[in-house]
Amino acid sequence: MNKKILVTGGAGYIGSITVKQLLEKGFDVVVFDNLVNGHNTNVSCPLVVGDLTDKESLFKSLEGYEFDGVIHFAAYTLPGESMQNPYKYFHANLQGGLNLLELMKKKNIPSIIFSSTCALYGYPKHLPVSEDEEKKPESVYGESKLLFERILDWYDTLYDIHHINLRYFNAAGAALDGSLGERHNPETHIIPLAIKAILENRPFDLFGADYPTPDGTCIRDYIHVEDLGRAHILALQKLQQTKKSNSYNLGTGKGFSNREILSMIEKVSGKKITIEEKPRRTGDPAIIYADNAKAKKELGWIPQHSDLETIVKTAYDWHSKHAK
């Protein structure tokens, strides 16, 4: 019998690519999304349009469905915006999550995979960053994800709703077949921003060239979105098998600097980027990359497409095709 999975935020960037992989593996999927950051054209399975923060509407719109598990992507995710509008982030990311858990309790759905973040580690003291690193977010966004992880712990203790937290580092790239990619408004990620700068023949703003790193720019751990999607399926299978809650970092275990990213985009595109150096952005740590040993050992998850050239090439091909 096919497993029936509810995917919140499944019309968004990472969500839609994970849904595509779930369908390819024979899962029966329903997407719930408010389409604020998602796109209905990303979805090729039943789509229920609604908002998690409206509990009554959530319960009513999913009344006729039964599910074996949930993958929860739906959230606001911009650290900078979260510092300007904390209510928006706490309300959506906590109240929406609570309403989802209440739905799970009512429908006896036993397991949830939570789209968490490395932002809950703040400025880590140790590199690479393991799951045991101290949790001290530097943004309301990171705090909202950490608080929901704690809420999940209580729902596990009180109601046997088991969870796996997947703490992403930097999601990047596009679907290998070119069908799905990253389209945020506003866009804040370096790879799509630099690609758009090239395609639109305009300068690229580089924030911070005076960090204590080899070339003066931030170093980040980039993980291909196809590898991220696969991790959710492995986590779902693991959770339904063990019924034991856990947390995993999803990264490659190494970092690339912003200048290395820009050089690879130039290599892939065959075009030169005009760089305008700007002051550092508040809240950007100099270096952060994952210790992914636990995910490798316990989930059997090995990043397969997360070399920098594949990440940049899939992103460049997708943005070139969808430039308008």
Parallel/antiparallel/unpaired status of strands 222-224 and 219-220? unpaired
291/294 Cα distance (integer angstroms) = 8
CA distance 158 to 237: 23
Query: Distances in Å between the alpha carbon of 36 and those of 25, 32, 90, 168, 182?
Result: 28, 12, 17, 21, 14
Distance of CA 25 to the CA centre of its chain: 21
Give the DSSP letter string of 154-205. Answer: HHHHHH--EEEEEEE-EEE---TTSS-----SS---HHHHHHHHHHTT--EE
Q: Is-catalytic flag, 121?
A: no
Which is it for strands 28-33 and 47-49: parallel, antiparallel or unpaired?
A: parallel
**104 in Cβ contact with 70 (< 8 Å):** yes
Residue 109 and residue 69 in contact, taking contact as beta carbons nearer than 8 Å: yes
Q: Measuring CA to CA, how many Å separate 43 from each of 39, 46, 314?
A: 8, 8, 20
Q: What is the DSSP string of 24-86?
A: HTT-EEEEEE-SSS--GGG--S-EEE--TT-HHHHHHHTTT---SEEEE--S---HHHHHH-H
CA 165, CA 147: separation in Å to the nearest integer?
12
Please calculate the CA angle 187-166-45 and round it to the nearest 5 degrees. 70
- Token output for 259: 């200048």
Q: Which of 76, 141, 211, 289 is catalytic?
A: 141
Active site residues: 141
